[in-house]
Structure 1
Amino acid sequence: MPLPKVIATDLDGTLLGRDGRLSPRNQKALQTAREHGVLTVAVTARAPRAVYRVPELSPVLDAAICCTGAIVYDTATRTADFRHPIPLDTARELHERLRAALPGALFAVETGERQVAQSTFFQQGVHYGDPWTFLEPGDDLIAAADAVAELIVRVPGSNGTDMYEATRGIELPGVGLWHWGSFPEIECTAAEATKGLALASWCADRGVDAADVIAFGDMPNDVSMLAWAGRSYAMGGAHPDAVAAADDRTGPAADDGVAQVIEAILELEAA
């Protein structure tokens, strides 16, 4: 396999362990790839602040595409370029439709700099501290946000697959809905904010074609990236949608599946 020009990887469930940290093996593999002239980019649902709060990441990344493609984050300068917000009027209509489709749902807005949430339930399962704004019951969620990178909905006691099925009838122009399998959450972004489109744009700015990109992922929101890249790998234990979109499989995140592939490529290059 020829040496790629870009390595693109999801973070949670792919590059990072369950504790939200970067293992020494994955760190070394990415750093070695960069020393061979390969560009490395994280493509993640995380906001920029949740990338730079993992101290091991910045030294081994050239950039991070955040909020599923809404924001491009420069890891060196810690600056963010907000490219694809959901228009506030669209976010408001989407909020109303989701409330009707998902009784008992709780909502939050990711602005790129903070989360505005209706419940502390959104803090569960989060690996990093966040600047939260919690609203009183009945407060206007959309009015409380100055920008909408993601509209996030959770239904306690449900799961992402069932939630996604319940919202299939919501076809609002300009937005896309993503789920996380068993995790009881749906994330909504602008239609242009997909991992595949955002990665393609980032690569085009650097004169890199899809054929020269290797991508790694594990969830439905990784599908567009896995399908676009010239070579793609679904992690061990990945969601079936990610497996179907990828060219190949690698080990699970717990076994440093990303490093396994990078190491094999670099060994071939050295030979």
Structure 2
Amino acid sequence: MTRPPDPLELPRLHRPPRLVATDLDGTLVRSDGTVSPYTREVLLELDRRDVPVVFVTGRPLRWAADVFEHVGAHGLAIISNGALVWDVTGDRAVLERPIQPSLGLEVCAALRAAVPGTAYAVETVRGIELEPSFMERYQVPDAVRRAPVEELFDGPALKLLARHEELGPQEFWDVAEEVTGGRLVITWSSTTTLLEISGPEVTKASTLELLCAERGIEAADVIAFGDMPNDLPMLGWAGTSYAMADAHHTVTELADHVAPGHDEDGVARVLAGVFGL
């Protein structure tokens, strides 16, 4: 295995981590949307050593599948900010933590009353469905359903997306937090004003904790990587946490350590050092 130059200062751990949890965009995945050959090599070596690498992402299932080939033989990924645990090998959901329609619609009405111009989209295992006024920044299937949120929210949803074209992300988040009063979990991982809303107490951390508990793995045995506010709960829970060099300032302030940037194979370089690859 060829290691990049510039050795890192690594934490002195009492024992090697038993599980790696990593965000994707801005963390493991490069700016061009790829996973580098070096990173892939490190992940495969950890899999050979029976160290599971769990992808913990805000991506919906349809986007997370683009990198499933790198997840390893254990085949698990946490999707949609903790709302879904997906068995990659079996191509099926093993855990769903959705928003129920009654609560989701109540929050939608309250937020739109507080911030006129709010537009919504709903994510399910089937895919995304949008209000006509929701301006999607990425291509969606041609046949995607478009209707008022009252029609879209006809069953449990993995994630509710709220977008505003005038407010900044922090301002929109502050209002949404006040309006929802903690009934749902709100965060963002986008550079645009797009809030990602999950079910009660559903975060990357709470679902990762459930996954680890089933395997007898404690928080102290987990090393985690992230770059945006939706990673904060996971980084706070893990025994060892890394912010990427180009992470949001709140992530850098919380994390134990800072890794090189995502375009510099930061996750892989840290893991190669920690595990002595």
TM-score, length-scaled by structure 1? 0.89
Q: Which amino acid aligns with 1:237?
A: D
CA RMSD, 1 decimal: 2.2
1:200-233 Cα shifts (integer Å, max 9, x gaps): 1100100001111000001111111001101000
The residue aligned with 2:222 is: 213
Contact 2:42 2:272 in 1 (8 A): yes
Find out whether 1:4 has 2:13 as its counterpart: no
1:133 maps to which residue? 144
SS at match of 1:169: helix
List per-residue Cα deviations over 1:63-114 (Å, max 9, x = no partner).
1111111110011111113421111100000111121222222210001221
Equivalents in 2 of 1:57, 1:141: separation in Å?
38
The answer to whether 1:113 aligns with 2:138 is: no
1:263 equivalent among 257, 263, 272? 272
Shift in CA distance, 144/182, structure 1 to aligned 2, threshold 3 Å: closer
Q: Of 71, 74, 89, which aligns to 2:87?
A: 74
Quote the residue 1:155 is aligned against.
164
CA contact (8 A) 1:99 1:105 kept: yes
Number of equivalent positions: 264
Give unpaired runs (5+ residues) of structure 2.
1-12
Cross-structure match for 1:101: 114
What is the DSSP-based 3-state SS (H/G/I as helix, E as strand, rest coil) of the residue aligned with 2:144? strand
What runs of 5+ residues in structure 1 fail to find an aligned partner? Answer: none
Alpha-carbon shift at residue 192 of structure 1 (Å): 2.7
What is the identity, as a one-letter code, of the residue corresponding to 1:29?
V
- Fraction of identical pairs, as percent: 32
Q: Is contact 1:5-1:212 (8 Å) kept?
A: yes
CA distance in 1, matches of 2:33, 2:74: 16
**Match of 1:43?**
56
- State the distance in 2 between where 1:225 and 1:82 align: 18
Change (3 A) 1:55 1:143: closer
Q: Per-residue deviation at 1:144?
A: 4.9
1:176 aligned to 2:185? yes
Contact in 2 for aligned 1:117/1:134 (Cα 8 Å): yes
- Does 2:241 align with 1:232? yes
Q: Provide TM-score, normalisation by structure 2.
A: 0.87
